[in-house]
Chain A
C-alpha cells in the first residue's frame, strides 16, 4: 500500500516536474530563435539532446549535453552556417535515466517543429523506448553511449550510435583480463539492460578462451548494501571480480560495490565496463577505487588527431575537462549538423525540417564519413559505428589511465 501510493505520487510529481522543465526549455529556446532571426535572414533548427541531466547517471549526461552545445556553437560560428543562413539551438530532454520517462521526454523533443535530429539517449533502457517515438516521426537519433548490442537490430533505420557496443566491449574485457593473467572470475551484473548485456557478452568470450566463473550474482540497481555478496566473493576467492553495471546507485552501484569489496578485505581487483570508467566513480569510491580496471569504447581522445582541439575548446567553454562519453556526443551532434548542411545545400533550407528533409538527413547520416574526435565517424548497415575500438583503463593514483599491461588495439 505504502509503496504503491508513494510510487504513484512520485510518478505524478516527476511528470509535473518534467513538463515544467520542458516548458521552460521551450521558452528559452523560442526566445533564442527569435534573436537569431532578428540578426538577418537565418533559419533556426533544433537539435534535441536526450540524457540524464538532473538525476540518474548525470555524469554521463551533463558533460554530453555540454559537448552537444559545443558542437552547435562551433557550427553556428562556421562559414557554412553563415552561407546557408542556418543556426542551430539545443533542446534539452532530461530523461533522468528513467525508462518510464522516456516517451514523455522524446515526445517533448518531437513537439519542436524545427527538430532535425536527436543526440541521445545514454542508458540503453531509455534509448529503446525513446527511440520508438523518434522512429515513428522519422527523426534521426544518434546515441552517444548506449552500448547494448541489440539496439541497432530492431529495424529502426533512423537509429545510429557513435560508440562501440557491449558485443565488442564484453569480449575485449575478457581478453584483457586473460592478458593480465586472471583465470577465475566472479561475475556480477546490476540487472539493468546494459549490465545484463555486458555480462552476457563477457561471459561468452571468457568461457570461450578457457576462463572460469566461480560465482554469478545479480543485484538490484537501487541496492546499497553488498556485504553478503562481498562475503561470498571472499569465500570464492577469485582472481578478479567483473562488475557489469554503472557507478551510481540511481542507475547501478559500481562505486558502492568497489568500496565495500575493498573494505571487506577482497584483494582481487574489480573490473567493469564503460559504466564505471568515469571520474565520478573514483570520487565516490574514494581510495578504495585504486586498481580498478575498466574497458571503454574508443581510444583516449587526447591521442586522437582532433582530440586536443576538442579538449581545449571544451575546457575553455565549460571550465572542466570532457569525460565519460562527451566526445561521442560531440561526434553525434556533428554527424547531424553535417547532414543538415548537406541536405540544405541540395534541397534548400526550407525543406530540412519537413518529413522529406528528415528522411534525407537519415540517408546522409547513414552514408557520410567525416573525421571526428573519436576517430573517423561512419556507420555500418545496422547503424553501429564502423570504427569500433575498445581500450582498457586502470585507476592509478586516483586517475583513470590506459592500462600499461594491456596492449592497445
Chain B
C-alpha cells in the first residue's frame, strides 16, 4: 500500500509537469488546429531563463561577474543573502524566477507566432507545421551555441535545507515535489476559470469555434491568438523551471522527451480540450510511475503508449474530446 501511494505521488508530480506542457499544445491546437512542435522548446527556453534569473538573484559568483560589467546591477549583492536564506526571500525569489521566466518565454511565444506562423495562417496546414519544426531546431541550436549544452541548475540554499514532508508510514514527499504539485493545481485551476469565466476566455472559445465568425462579431482574432501563444509558452516555462529545480540540470535538448509525453497527454485527453490535457498529463504521469514501479522502468514507455493506443481505438477523440464532425 505504501509502495503504491509513493508511486502515485511520484507520478502526480511528473504528471503535473506534463499537464502544464500539454496545455500549450492543446491551447494552440484548439484555436489554430495546428500542432506547435516548437512548444517543447518553450519548455526548454523557460528552463534556461529560470536558470539565468535564479543565478542572477542567488549566486554570488554570477552577481559578481554581472556587476563588473554592469555596475548598476550591484544592488543584487546586498539582496542575495535575503533571497537565499530566509523563507520570505525564498518565496519572493521563486515568484520572481517563475514570473520572469514565464513572461519572457510568453513574449518569445508571441514573437514566434508573429513571424513564423502568422504569415502562414492561410497556407496549407503542412506549411505551418514545417515552420514549427524549423523553429524547434532553431531554438535548440541557438541555446546550444549561445548558452551551452548543459547547465547545472542552482539549488537555493533554503530549499536544500528543507526536510522531506512525512505523510504517513514511510511515505514522504520532497519539498520540491510538493511545490510542483500545488503550483500545477493552482495554475490549472486559474487557467480553467480564466477560459470559462472571463471575457477574454470567452473570446478564445469563440475563436476556437470559428475564427471568421468570431472576427465578424468584433473579436480581434490576432490578439486572441497572440494571447494563446503567450499563455501556452508561459505555462511551459514554469514546467521547464520546475524541471531544472527538481533534476538540477537543464540541457538544450531537454524538451524532447517531456514534449513527446505532453503531446501524448494532450491527445489522450482529447486535443483541443483544456481539462482533457490536464487529465491526460496526470494520467500519463501516474501510468508511467506505476508501470516502472510494478514492472520495469525499461518498459514504461511501452506500457504507457500501449494504453494510449487502446484508448484511442475506443475513443478516437481522446478521453474528454468531443467527436467533431469534420468541416468540409
Contact = CB atoms under 8 A, between A and B. Distances in A.
11 contacts: A54-B149, A58-B150, A218-B296, A224-B254, A227-B10, A227-B289, A228-B288, A232-B293, A256-B247, A283-B152, A286-B152
A284 B137 CA distance: 26
A19 to B, nearest CB: 15
A151 to B, nearest CB: 24
A284 B152 contact: yes
Contacts of A219: 297-298
A351 to B, nearest CB: 42
Interface in A196-237: 217-220, 222-232, 234-235
B233 to A, nearest CB: 18
B95 interface: no
Interface of chain A: mostly helix, strand, loop or mixed: helix
Interface of A: 2-3, 5-6, 9-10, 13, 54-55, 58, 191, 217-220, 222-232, 234-235, 248-250, 255-256, 259-260, 263-265, 283-287
A234 B9 CA distance: 14
Cβ-closest 3 pairs across A and B: A227-B10, A228-B292, A228-B293
Nearest to A10: B137
A255 B249 contact: yes
B7 A228 contact: yes
B257 A226 contact: no
B160 interface: yes
B172 A224 contact: no
Interface string B276-315: 0000000000001110110011101100000000000000
Interface residues of B, number: 44
B3 A2 contact: no
Contacts of A6: 37, 133, 136, 256
B215 interface: no
Contact of B149 (A58, A218, A227): A58
A220 B152 CA distance: 21
B10 A259 contact: no
B283 to A, nearest CB: 15
Given A218-B298, A259-B247, A286-B155, A231 B257 contact: no
B149 A223 contact: no
Contacts of B150: 58, 248, 250
Interface string B37-51: 100000000000000
A284 to B, nearest CB: 5
Given A9-B137, A249-B249, A223 B254 contact: no
A265 B149 contact: no
A218 B292 CA distance: 10
B319 interface: no
B26 interface: no
A198 B243 CA distance: 30
A94 B195 CA distance: 49
Given A13-B137, A256-B248, A265-B172, A229 B297 contact: yes
B144 to A, nearest CB: 8
Contacts of B141: 13
Contacts of B155: 286
A287 B154 CA distance: 12
Given A2-B263, A191-B298, A220-B298, A228 B149 contact: no
Contact of A265 (B164, B256, B257): B164
A255 B151 CA distance: 13
Interface in B132-168: 133, 136-137, 141, 144, 149-150, 152, 155, 160, 164
A229 B293 CA distance: 6
Given A227-B289, A283-B152, A250 B137 contact: no
B96 interface: no
A31 to B, nearest CB: 24
Contacts of A226: 297
